[in-house]
Structure 1
Amino acid sequence: MGHMRGSARLVLCAACVAGVLAFAGCAPQAPSEGSRPDRSTPVDVEFAWSAEADCSMCHADEADSMTMAGYPAATHEAEGETCASCHADNAALASAHEGALPSSTMPKRLTKTKVDDTLCLACHDQEELAEKTAASTVLADSQGLVENPHALPETENHTAIACSDCHKMHSPETAAETAKAKCLSCHHENVFECNTCHEEM
């Protein structure tokens, strides 16, 4: 009797498998290659930049950073700022996007455009920033010399430093990390005092 039940179960299982395979054979099949375009491959249509363009269509990583906690861009977005609030160099942006296609490689940093300090300082007061970071020890060299990141000694090289050199809006890196790295790009011996590494000629 038990043997009969086992056989019946086996026949029932085989019938179910056959039915599923028959149904799958009737299911809609993917069209043969060449019958319709592959939607995973972007169609290369030349992009004409404008101030009203949807930047996220191509700059997805940057767009994502505007909603991710811990990213400075997210703080700005929460305060109602948009891409155009900071990226306002319209002529340079139009030039940078000439010949751009959806398949073009996205640059990892600005090369043809920049975020001007005047845009940052329209909202952030330089003197207030210097007061807030007066006790900061973020910029300390190997000799114990500490500099206020918002009140650096006035030198030709320091005046060339832009807000965006230290404050990376679309990166999780903190200003503490990027600011020290910026200093070390010139003070490569981690000594801030000049004329202590190289003898004057």
Structure 2
Amino acid sequence: MKRLRGTAQYALCVACASAVLMLAATGCAPHAPSEREREEQAPPVEVEFTWSADVDCSACHADEATSMVTAGYPAAVHEAEGESCASCHADDTALASAHEGALPSSAMPKRLVKTKVDEGLCLSCHNLEELAAKTAESTVLADSQGLVENPHALPQTENHAAIACADCHKMHSSEAVADTAKAQCLSCHHENVFECNTCHEEM
């Protein structure tokens, strides 16, 4: 009787072990991936990009495209008036050069390096004298000594002549122009004093 019971227990153990192995084998058995799974697992095919004036910029420049339709961004104001990327980014030769070898997965540059927005394009729509009149009472550009400068009528100096509209007016940023303009001043007037020769003695 004891031997029979042991044999039955042994048989039961063998049956259980077989069932566990069968379940494990079924769960671990490789299966052919579906077409969708193959597409998701396959590395993206990178096709060389060729820039042209009528290309869809938003395909790669998603952040900039979003700024064109988001309130609070200067680019959205321009887009609402019917302007497009090409209205400001109009240097075809420089743009073609900047996009040479570009791929859809390329990291987007944080700022323009090979191309720039021509100052003449801004001034073809925005009259500098009118802008200066509008900002005559502005206190955005005030230094630590209380000296206030009109952002559109800065004293004539070589450094001021090099300042472009886009240095203060960031089209694709929601940062306030008061902040970007003051930061532009402080890139030279690092002591927050606008009057020259008060920090460094003349040589």
Match of 2:104 in 1: 102
- Residue 122 of structure 1 aligns with an amino acid whose one-letter code is S
Tell me the TM-score normalised to structure 2 length: 0.81
Residue 31 of structure 1, CA deviation: 2.2
Identity level (%) = 79
Match of 2:185 in 1: 183
Query: For 2:96 and 2:40, how far apart are their aligned partners in 1?
Result: 30
Residue 37 of structure 1, CA deviation: 3.1
Residue 38 of structure 1, CA deviation: 2.8
Query: For 1:92 and 1:39, how far apart are their aligned partners in 2?
Result: 37
Match of 1:123 in 2: 125
Distance change (3 Å), C-alpha of 1:41 and 1:173: farther
- Residue 157 of structure 1 aligns with an amino acid whose one-letter code is N
Query: For 1:182 and 1:106, how far apart are their aligned partners in 2?
Result: 24
Match of 1:197 in 2: 199
Distance change (3 Å), C-alpha of 1:121 and 1:40: farther
Residue 39 of structure 1, CA deviation: 7.4
Larger Rg: 2
Match of 2:38 in 1: 36
Query: For 1:72 and 1:30, how far apart are their aligned partners in 2?
Result: 52
Q: Match for 1:166 among 162, 165, 168?
A: 168
Query: For 2:128 and 2:89, how far apart are their aligned partners in 1?
Result: 20
Q: For each residue in 1:80-113, what CA deviation from the matched residue of structure 2 results, as whole angstroms up to 9, or x when unmatched?
A: 0000000001111000000000111100111110
Query: For 2:111 and 2:51, how far apart are their aligned partners in 1?
Result: 18
Q: SS in structure 1 opposite 2:40? A: coil
Query: For 1:109 and 1:30, how far apart are their aligned partners in 2?
Result: 46
Residue 41 of structure 1, CA deviation: 5.3
Residue 40 of structure 1, CA deviation: 8.6
1:150 and 2:145 aligned: no
Q: SS in structure 1 opposite 2:125? A: coil
Tell me the TM-score normalised to structure 1 length: 0.82
Q: SS in structure 2 opposite 1:52? A: coil
Distance change (3 Å), C-alpha of 1:181 and 1:131: same
Query: For 1:53 and 1:149, how far apart are their aligned partners in 2?
Result: 36
- RMSD, aligned α-carbons: 2.1
Q: Match for 1:46 among 45, 48, 54?
A: 48
Greater fraction helix: 2
Runs of 4 or more, structure 1, over 3 Å off, are 32-35, 39-42
1:67 and 2:69 aligned: yes
